[in-house]
């Protein structure tokens, strides 16, 4: 989900990583890591550079944890729709 779309939601920014600048860096790294994608160059701080070095390792950890019990949802939907899907998915276990 584009960080700008997330920022338009009510309550965005209340969590530690719900910061537009941080999410833009995450999106830029995801773009760079995707073969065939076109990304613009953005000057990054030392903290951002550190994050970019560890991001693939963290993503790999999540992939190793992922199993059949994980559910995926389209985060660009209305929050109420996501809530219904999450609630329904929880009962399907």
* Three-class secondary structure assignment of the chain: CCHHHHHCCCCCCCCCCCCHHHHHHHHHHHHHHCCCCCCCCCCCCHHHHHHHHHHHHHHHHHHHHCCCCCCCCCCCCCHHHHHHHHHHHHHCC
Check residue 70 and give its pLDDT: 84
Contact (Cβ atoms closer than 8 angstroms) between residue 39 and residue 23: no
Tell me: the pLDDT tens digits for 37-51?
666 545 556 776 777
Query: What is residue 35's predicted lDDT score, i.e. its pLDDT?
Result: 63
Instruction: Indicate the domain borders of the chain.
Output: 3-67
Spans of the chain, pLDDT less than 50: 41, 93
pLDDT value, residue 42: 52
Q: How far is 29 from 56, CA to CA, in rounded Å?
A: 9
């Amino acid at each position: 989900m584009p960080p700008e779309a997330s920022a338009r939601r009510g309550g965005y920014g209340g969590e530690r990583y719900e910061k537009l600048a941080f999410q833009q860096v995450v999106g830029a790294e995801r773009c760079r890591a995707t073969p065939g994608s076109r990304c613009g160059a953005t000057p990054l701080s030392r903290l951002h550079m550190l994050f970019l070095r560890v991001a693939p390792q963290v993503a790999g950890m999540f992939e190793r944890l992922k199993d059949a019990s994980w559910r995926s949802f389209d985060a660009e939907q209305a929050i109420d729709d996501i809530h219904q899907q999450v609630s329904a998915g929880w009962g399907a276990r």
